[in-house]
Amino acid sequence: MRHITISLLFLCFIYLPLYAQETPENWHLLDKTEDRVPGISLEKAYALLKANNKTSTPVIVAVLDSGLDIEHEDIQPVLWTNSKEIEGNAIDDDNNGYVDDIHGWNFIGGKNGQSLEAETLELTRLYKAMKTRFDGKNKFTIKTDEQEDYDLFLRYKKAYNEGKSKLRNSIAQNTEEFEFFDNLIPPLQKAIGKNSFTEKELQKAKLSNGQLENVRANFFRILERNKEKNLTSEKLIAHYEELSTKMEMLEKRLKYNYSLDFNGRDIIGDDYANVNEKGYGNNDVTKRSGHGTHVSGIIGAARNNNIGIDGIADNVRIMPIRSTPMGDENDKDVANGIRYAVDNGAKIINMSFGKEFSPQKEVVDAAVKYAQEKGVLLVHGSGNDGKNTDYFYSFPSALLADGTVASNWIEVGASAVHVDEKLPATFSNYGKTSVAIFAPGVDIYSTLPENSYDTRSGTSMAAPVVSGVAALLLSYFPHLTPEELIAIITESGTSYDLTVNQPGSDEKVPFSSLSQTGKIINAHQAVQLALEKYEK
């Protein structure tokens, strides 16, 4: 890899914001009054339940996501197991259409054991289909009855080209930074024999040549320039590793998301046109499990076990359903995932995914209605585009094609740790009509594969905060319907009378204008309201 010379002073300006004063790792669980952060007051909720002698029953929460590390030390104790299925006998013992579904199902896997990890965007799939039809044609050569479809093709083509160009620009912008650190950190890691090291270990290390001495000197210069921000060797190495992961992800997205040649259904082997098909896929829910493991830990990582973190709900069973690759999920897989969850006992379904187009929306809508009929709550992250979803489409959604709104659906925006104009996350979608409530979604510390833990941000993290609180309520108040759970959560949230930065712009708006409630979820107040209004 070529050597890059960059001003160390310039580097300081790039990385200073990364090392601002850290907030508590569990800030999203803390209390606004006692801890001075806009968390959900979880411990006060449990104290109130204990004071009222409430006992809990298990609640199954399905996580439609990328995958789950079912061996994780903090997840294994709360993992859902299908007691009606005999493991490894290759028989559908419970006759639910899925063979050996011991711990959920992988709808983006093949019968040969392969799994789809990266996929095209729905936009790419739509553009590809239209391109086959209209490539080489123009407004003068199309037929009169093709005009509407041709206009749609031009819209897809423009969005596809703009999206691909934006991704390439992002790769170019990150490449210089990555290559600088790639020449700085790996040589020191190799010389010391450790992936992470302290300043003392680096200082004492005996280096083999003058070039490594210069690399070490540059490393210490960066630390010195950022010492007021508490930058350490470990933090700098962690940033490089995050940047390395980001670059890998961006390159994969370019390779797959915008590919006009790749077809993920070849791996799955289903008849995609048959929207009523079930039984395809496999039982390996563990592939590409970072996102799903983080989401699951927020909801219900084993509590009070002196390991890792405490999840929100204390009597939960996590049912992993793999339906979302790196790219856009397919509507058929989402619909089947919802139905699988409902049919196998889930009472809450967390959906931390979304996309701009939904060509088989009617299939998803039917599954949403099915969940509504069966009394299952659907929790959905609003998305990370900084857009007003009252006006911009984001699927799946509570608004069904027939004009009705699903009564069992709660849409969630993401909030940050700042009780000021930065309260809404800069990336969060919002909407006075479309988003019900906000929940902590910035720098949320949770489980990751191979017994690790780290912070992530997104409405993907805010949604499981709501799912966790909903599971907590349902476990102690098992008679509650989805509609009652939504009423409790939205009515009991904490209001913030603040003028804030509107996500995605510099405009100042009331926080109350960003959602139906203008509130952030609060577990303690939710339990209090449940005791007052719904106790039987």
The pLDDT value given to residue 393: 87
Structure tokens, 41: 């007051």
Q: Show Cβ contacts of residue 115 under 8 Å, excluding neighbours closer than 6 positions.
A: 106, 108, 109, 267, 282, 284, 287, 288, 322
Residue 412's domain spans which residues? 31-118+284-533
The pLDDT value given to residue 209: 87
Lowest-confidence region among 1-15, 189-203, 520-534: 1-15
Taking only the tens place, the pLDDT of each residue in 256-312 is 999 999 999 999 999 989 999 999 999 999 999 999 999 999 999 999 999 999 999
As a whole number of angstroms, the distance between CA 279 and CA 257 comes to 26
In a domain, 426, yes or no: yes
Determine what percent of the chain is predicted with pLDDT higher than 70: 96
The pLDDT value given to residue 534: 84
Among 236, 256, 276, the domain-final residue is 256
What is the model's pTM?
0.92
As a whole number of angstroms, the distance between CA 517 and CA 318 comes to 29
Lowest-confidence region among 13-27, 223-237, 393-407, 478-492: 13-27
Q: Is 110 helix (H, G, I), strand (E, B) or coil?
A: coil
> Is 318 within 8 Å of 78 (Cβ atoms)?
yes
Do 454 and 329 belong together in one domain?
A: yes
Domain of residue 449, CATH code? 3.40.50.200
Do 185 and 154 belong together in one domain?
A: yes
Do 145 and 246 belong together in one domain?
A: yes
Strand partners, 405: 399
> Is 93 within 8 Å of 84 (Cβ atoms)?
yes
The pLDDT value given to residue 15: 40
Buried b (16+ CB within 10 A) or exposed e, 183-214: bbbbbbeebbeeeebeeeebeeeebeeeebee
Taking only the tens place, the pLDDT of each residue in 464-509 is 999 999 999 999 999 999 999 999 999 999 999 999 999 999 899 9
Lowest-confidence region among 19-23, 93-97, 132-136, 528-532: 19-23
Strands 499-501 and 508-510: antiparallel
Distance of CA 432 to the CA centre of its chain: 22
In a domain, 277, yes or no: no
Determine what percent of the chain is predicted with pLDDT higher than 90: 91
Do 515 and 409 belong together in one domain?
A: yes
The pLDDT value given to residue 327: 96
CA-wise closest residue to 326 among 382, 257, 383, 272: 257
Q: How confident is the model at residue 19 (pLDDT cuts 50, 70, 90)?
A: very low
pLDDT of residue 23 exceeding 90: no
Do 529 and 383 belong together in one domain?
A: yes
In a domain, 263, yes or no: no
Taking only the tens place, the pLDDT of each residue in 36-76 is 999 999 999 999 999 999 999 999 999 999 999 999 999 99
In a domain, 8, yes or no: no
Do 48 and 196 belong together in one domain?
A: no
In a domain, 4, yes or no: no
As a whole number of angstroms, the distance between CA 522 and CA 532 comes to 16
The pLDDT value given to residue 13: 34
Among 238, 256, 274, the domain-final residue is 256
Do 365 and 513 belong together in one domain?
A: yes
pLDDT of residue 401 exceeding 80: yes
Residue tagged 């999840």 (tokens): 311
Report the C-alpha dihedral over residues 256, 261, 266, 267, rounded to 10 degrees.
-20
* CA distances, 192 to each of 187, 188, 205, 239 (Å): 9, 6, 6, 19
In a domain, 23, yes or no: no
Residue tagged 């599971």 (tokens): 471
Q: Tell me the three-class secondary structure of 39-88, residue by residue.
A: CCCHHHHHHHHHHCCCCCCCEEEEEEECCCCCCCCCCHHHECCCCCCCCC
Q: What is the mean pLDDT of the chain?
A: 93
DSSP H helices in 194-307: 199-204, 210-225, 233-256, 265-268, 290-300
Phi/psi at 317 (nearest 5 deg)? -125, 120
Structure tokens, 350: 């967390």
The pLDDT value given to residue 22: 66
Q: Taking the CB of residue 486, how many other CB atoms lie within 10 A of it?
A: 22
Taking only the tens place, the pLDDT of each residue in 113-169 is 999 999 999 999 999 999 999 999 999 999 999 999 999 999 999 999 999 999 999
Per the structure, the count of domains in the chain is: 2
Among 211, 239, 256, the domain-final residue is 256
The pLDDT value given to residue 230: 86
Q: How confident is the model at residue 8 (pLDDT cuts 50, 70, 90)?
A: very low
